[in-house]
Structure 1
Amino acid sequence: MKQSKSLFFVVILLVLMGCTGMKKNGYVPVNKNAIPEAVQLLDFLYSIQGKYTLTGMHNFASDINRYDQVVDSLTGKTPVVWGSDFSFNALGNNQCEFRHCGPLNLTVPGNKGISCGELSLSPIQQRQLIIDTAIKRHSEGRIITLMWHCCWPTNGDDCNGDDIWRWADNLPSQQEWDELTTDGTALNGIWKKQMDGIAMCLRELQNAGVPVLWRPFHEMNGVWFWWCNKPGENGFKKLWIAMYDYFTNYHKLNNLLWVWDANAPRNNPGDEAGPYADYYPGSEYVDVLAADVYHSDWKQSHHDELLELGKGKIISLGEVGNLPSVEVYERQPKWSWFMPWGYFIQNKENIKIAKDIYNHPHSINLDMIDFTDRIYKLKK
């Protein structure tokens, strides 16, 4: 009888693990058809969870290697995580106001002495440069993370930055939002056409066997982007699930690990970011939970609340402005990677702390990665 009861509980446990996507050493990708490279990358992230943090760096398409070189000059290290942005083509008389996100057609921020001029390459050529560089960096053992500052769908990939940075008083109405997220509407169709262009880029990476930490619609709990400030079941959650479904089931993009990347919650008047849970689409649609931390806002709650929401899933720092202090870094050990946002790495605060953080015993740089047979593991 004891043996029967034991067997019964084992079976129940296995069933529950299957239902939640769990396995012995963590979770499987939410996309059950994920390519082996994506499965292995997620396994690697779980293998270092709470023990180490991968170093990272964001690079803009218009100067694709610049900030990796800055990190090397400051620390003597090459980051493991390589990030970039599919971005947009900036229009209008105020183009330079949006240079901080690296529009595809403008010179990169942080280049002293270079004006905010237009580049000779087209947005299509710039995105191809991102793809080609991502493939090359992956072959070196780097881990690729990509995102997308996208225009409101009716403008495709070409818009004034004010079309993206709407702020609270100019966000889409609930009627517009419902049309956007309802399959079969005119606006939903336009949005899918816009997404098709990005899907083609991601497919090229899939064909090359490159897994991608994909973090679309970041900082959705803030009040600044058009996709922000829509909490609840009929809000951001519907947008995320619609993209997940379109990329996964229609485009068959199986190289993506889905990184849900909120802003660290804050109560700054006019610059608020709501609670994580109000915007979380559910564990069945998320592989990694991330936070963006700016203004040196290193509250312990930003780390701990994300851990609680993820219930064991990987957490990371999708973007940071200033790096954490060594004390904070050691007090928040579950971040699986961090990634400074482009030119922020050149801030005087980061110049002071970068060497300590990138060379910290808790940090993993590229020189510690063994990528033999295109499998991520730590060097012995």
Structure 2
Amino acid sequence: MKTNIYLTLFFLSMFFLSCKKTETFESVNPNASKEAKELLAYLYSIRGKKIISGQHNYPHELLRSTDSIQAMTGKLPALWGTDISSMSDKLVEEAIRQHKKGAIITLMYHQVKPFDHDSLGYAGSVKGMVTDEQWEQIITPGSEYYKMLLHKIDQRAEVLKKLRDANIPVLWRPYHEMNGMWFWYGNRPGKKGVQFLWKMMYDRYTNHHKLNNLIWVWNANGPRDRENDEAYAYHLFYPGNEYVDVLAADIYRNDYKQSHHDELVELGEGKLIALGEIGQVPSPEIIEQQPEWAWFMIWARFPWTHNDREDVQKLYNSERVLTLDEIQ
């Protein structure tokens, strides 16, 4: 009798573990497009079994880094990424072309400070903190800085609408590395910090602009304690599961701590996690030890500036890694 009870408990525990492993979450946008829902479902279907290969490209060289992966490995990354700061028509055209080839599209936005001109760019305005007084104005609806912020957000919405109208789902990751101390919106924890910006953009894009093709990727930096280069705990900056589809981490300097992976899994309570940006590629052993990553995306030019060709080839030859010809 005892044996039968133990066997029953064993099989029940295996059943519940299996259910937990295959658990999926609906899009946080109740009006998500069919294509966005299908992409999210696909990502859940491979969770824990495969990882999608990805490559970022600078907006002024939309294929250079992706082409470098093909030259190095003979394979194309399954995910194509870039930055919509420039709002160029060529960027939209390339995203559409990549989608038609079967690639997954991920876009980010290096947003300059609300009160600065876009021409100042990354070094001139994205980097560098704002004062507490400036921050208070930025998050105060109706203030001049808030209106400036909204204007920049609305401009990029017009770019994203072109992809929406082409039925292209987008892995959308704004305000990345917000737990660091290098971007103007960085190291602003709590509800009146970057969580406010995230929720405001989510509401604006979802309810006002009807950007139902977006999958919302909350993308922190892997926490670290380096003097003058700190990145703080994920949870301090997390807006909540009702606003996030995928939780991601940026990993540079080959800092693939198990905690970077495990803490995201815990914070998301079962939601997908991903490697939003990486510098040095992980070894096949690391992606075996950290199986929940849904994709990785190497930063532009980093395949050859920060990696050995052999390491890139090893990663792309891993049985866990999916390339363009292998997805869906």
What TM-score, normalized to structure 2? Answer: 0.91
Aligned AA (2:124) = D
Question: Structure 1 residues 58 and 348, CA, compared in 2 at 3 Å: closer, same or farther?
Answer: closer
Give the whole-Å Cα distance in 2 for the aligned partners of 1:249 and 1:209: 18
Match of 1:138 among 96, 99, 107: 99
**1:147-162 maps to which residues of 2 (within 5 A)?**
147-159=108-120, 161-162=123-124
Give the whole-Å Cα distance in 1 for the aligned partners of 2:51 and 2:308: 17
Give the whole-Å Cα distance in 2 for the aligned partners of 1:296 and 1:241: 31
Could you give the per-residue CA deviations for residues 15-47 of structure 1, whole angstroms, max 9, x where no partner exists? Answer: xxxxxxx9x840111010111000100000000
Greater shift in the superposed pair: 286-295 or 230-239: 230-239
Match of 2:73 among 75, 79, 102: 75
Give the fraction of aligned pairs with identical amino acids, expressed as a percent: 45
Q: Which residue number in structure 2 is paired with residue 303 of structure 1?
A: 261
Q: Which residue number in structure 1 is paired with residue 185 of structure 2?
A: 227
Give the whole-Å Cα distance in 2 for the aligned partners of 1:177 and 1:307: 31
Q: Is the 8 A contact 2:274 2:294 kept in 1?
A: yes
Gaps of 5+ in 2: 1-19
- Correspondence 1:165 to 2:127: yes
Describe the SS at the equivalent of 2:250: strand
Q: Which residue number in structure 2 is paired with residue 31 of structure 1?
A: 29
Give the whole-Å Cα distance in 2 for the aligned partners of 1:273 and 1:174: 19
1:367 Cα deviation after fit:
1.1
1:329 Cα deviation after fit:
1.7
Give the whole-Å Cα distance in 1 for the aligned partners of 2:306 and 2:184: 32
Q: Is the 8 A contact 1:318 1:339 kept in 2?
A: yes
Q: Is the 8 A contact 2:23 2:270 kept in 1?
A: no
Match of 2:171 among 199, 207, 213: 213
Greater shift in the superposed pair: 44-53 or 340-349: 340-349
Gaps of 5+ in 1: 1-21, 88-122, 370-376
Could you give the per-residue CA deviations for residues 184-234 of structure 1, whole angstroms, max 9, x where no partner exists? Answer: 222111111111110000000000000000000100000000010101121
Q: Is the 8 A contact 2:279 2:306 kept in 1?
A: no
Match of 1:262 among 189, 195, 220: 220
Give the whole-Å Cα distance in 1 for the aligned partners of 2:243 and 2:136: 20
Give the whole-Å Cα distance in 1 for the aligned partners of 2:305 and 2:145: 41
Number of aligned residue pairs = 307
Give the whole-Å Cα distance in 2 for the aligned partners of 1:348 and 1:286: 31
Aligned AA (2:125) = D
1:355 Cα deviation after fit:
0.9
Question: Structure 1 residues 358 and 38, CA, compared in 2 at 3 Å: closer, same or farther?
Answer: same
1:60 Cα deviation after fit:
1.3
1:350 Cα deviation after fit:
3.7
Q: Which residue number in structure 2 is paired with residue 282 of structure 1?
A: 240
Aligned AA (1:26) = T
Could you give the per-residue CA deviations for residues 261-316 of structure 1, whole angstroms, max 9, x where no partner exists? Answer: 00000000000000000100000000000000001111110001010101110000
Match of 2:152 among 194, 217, 222: 194
Aligned AA (2:43) = L
RMSD: 1.4
- Correspondence 1:330 to 2:271: no
Q: Which residue number in structure 1 is paired with residue 61 of structure 2?
A: 63
1:348 Cα deviation after fit:
5.6
Give the whole-Å Cα distance in 2 for the aligned partners of 1:368 and 1:58: 19
1:358 Cα deviation after fit:
1.0
Match of 2:135 among 174, 177, 184: 177
Aligned AA (1:361) = E
Q: Is the 8 A contact 1:322 1:347 kept in 2?
A: no
